[in-house]
């Protein structure tokens, strides 16, 4: 996402100010991502696991499910 914004600033705007801003945004994002990776190196694995999750898991009951155990309070 940040690379796309940087490329748009550099290529599409075609001004020196936009090019400088695009390079600044690119290196700023790179520094921030490196700092985040240094703090938590397993964050990428957590993110990859997160994007594999579905947004909705429908309820499915099977005959092999263990019976529910209800305990009455006396």
57 is a domain residue? no
38 is a domain residue? yes
pLDDT at 30: 93
Q: Among all chains, which residue has been given the structure tokens 């290529």?
A: 11
pLDDT at 60: 74
List, as one string, the DSSP characters of 7-65.
HIIIIIT-SHHHHHHHHHHHHHHHHHHHHHHHH-TTHHHHHHHHHHS-S-------TTS
67 is a domain residue? no
40 is a domain residue? yes
Q: Number of structural domains, the chain? A: 1
Task: Kindly give the parts of the chain with pLDDT less than 50.
Answer: none
pLDDT at 74: 63
Q: What is the pTM of this model?
A: 0.55
39 is a domain residue? yes
- Domain range enclosing 17: 2-52
Question: Residue 21 burial by CB count (10 A; 0-12/13-18/19+): exposed, middle or buried?
Answer: middle
């Amino acid at each position: 996402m940040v690379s796309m914004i940087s490329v748009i600033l550099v290529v599409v705007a075609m001004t020196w100010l936009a090019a400088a801003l695009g390079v600044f945004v690119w290196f700023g994002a790179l520094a921030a991502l490196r700092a985040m990776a240094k703090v938590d190196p397993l964050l990428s694995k957590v993110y990859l696991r997160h994007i594999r999750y579905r947004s909705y898991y429908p309820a499915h009951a099977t005959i092999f499910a263990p019976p529910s155990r209800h305990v009455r309070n006396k």
